[in-house]
A and B are shown apart, each in its own frame.
Chain A
Amino acid sequence: MEILINLGYLVAAVLFILGIKGMTTPKTAVRGNQLSATGMLIAVVAALLDHNVVSYEYIIIGVLIGGAIGAFMAKKVAMTDMPEMVAALNGIGGGASLLVAAANYLESQQLAEMGKFTPTYDWSVAVILSILIGAVTLTGSFVAVGKLKGRIGDAKNVKLFKWIVKLCLLTLLGGAGYFAAVDPLHADLLVGGLIILCLVLGVCLVMPIGGADMPVVVSLLNSYSGLAGAAAGFVLGNNGLIITGSLVGASGIILTSIMCKAMNRSLTNVLFGGSMAASAGVSKSENDAFYEGKVKFSSADELAMLLDGAQSVVFVPGYGLAVAQAQHATRELANMLESKGASVKYAIHPVAGRMPGHMNVLLAEAEVPYDQLVEMDAINPEFAQTDVAIVLGANDVVNPAAAKDPASPIFGMPILDVHNAKTVVVVKRGLSPGFAGIPNELFIRDNSLMVPGDAKKVLQDTIGALKDL
């Protein structure tokens, strides 16, 4: 039976790998996801067959509660809120790993009393690691959710948080050393204390990170949630958990490094550098002076006339599109332009939105064909032949200063070269700076027009005006 159960875990892990492999093209992705779900079912059945499972009522209660909440969340969530959803799921995953480690610790005490278990150093280390990663993921993710929702602002006192983090780490190191070396099985208080310490640590690690850096943080916590599972696998001596946890860990690490590259920042700088706007941002009066009298304002009617004669149009969506829920209006306008014979594309910057791939999901929801979504490196050479580029609620990712002003705090960050288009239309609610806290020279260029207002409203007005032409 033991062999069969372990084979079941292996099959599950293989199905997870095949499932992720399916995600390499949108065509095979749905099937891939189903393969992964099948793998999960097999793993659960294998666990239920374990000789340690003698009664099912508690298990059923847990599954029913979790299943109902999970199904409700998945049905209700709006595509614009996916970053919060993923961040919350990361935290829940971390919490589950933490609880598993704690429960296993208590059981090991019982087993030791029966003489069936002797603690080893690697077991002690695994327990501590799984508490640490699980707890940090749990609280860190919920701070990230608060920041994504805008309920938690950028922390002013970065130094204080760094100081607390260092203190927590030192205490943790001491506690863990004592735990492993002295008496791991009679340390309930110590373990409880360490759990609380790690929960505090999670809060203090994420608090000083700026709201703009949330795509990195969400990816990193995604990785942690996997590593927490792997650590729980080490505690339980379960290879299925280890394989699966490391897969998820690897996925998060890759996404984190993609996000960091797209912002031209190192991971350490994101995690410990504080909010960019706080260190480099300009004051409101400086910002106003920068734009004073130099921005050419336009209207939806003018935009409609401009688009009427355009042969090639590129939409550049940013976080503002998500806030305004303008994805459907964008698609409607694109349809009209295409029926007039214009070519329409969408330029997607890797950090547009609040998480990797956020814009793609929003546009997919509005039924934009995915082959019209073009990545930064592929679309940049095309801007020179573009008649109209429409920037929808994006700012820093189209700031030319990143390419040519070495003094700029975002210098070196790869951007979309929209300024090369014949005309750039910026749809934006106001002239306030983006996440980086700096003004954008694009808005005062000769070939730029600004249509102030909510992206959805402006697009709908433009659609109306186009119909009347």
Chain B
Amino acid sequence: MTLFEEVAPSGPPSDIPTTRVELRVNGETRAAQIEPRLLLAHLIRNGFKLTGTHTGCDTTNCGACTVLYDGQPVKSCTMFAVQANGHDVTTVEGLASSEQLHPIQEGFKDEHGLQCGFCTPGMMLSAVALLNENPNPTEDEVRWALSGNLCRCTGYQNIVKAVLWAAEKMRGDA
């Protein structure tokens, strides 16, 4: 296995160059020895076992792999893991503390903003990035901000409601 040393039974073929990366994932420093061609999404999923980040397409369209990279939403299937060296990554697993859900998570549950759950992590992280910049978005602003994330189940209406629900809670209006 050349992708990630810790899970390699025999180690990479010796002539394949690997690189050590160190990044902060959900607030914790994680290190890995990786091949440069490893996509960030695969390091997160297979290396760090954070399987809440999903991959849904090959063409940078679906947004299921969205994570926050230094606070900005990026499609983690469209970055090489080696690029993340020294950077900060937040995945869906980093949204809740052990006791407390993030308001966006509560909103998605309360407003039935998910069905199969596959797009949900990416959708929520895009929403969090929006709410961090714009605590009081309009429906159109929410729809625009989420237009890089595809959902096949919900028709988006409840996702929009979920984000507005979370916005209200985060502002403390509720």
Q: Do A and B come from one complex?
A: no
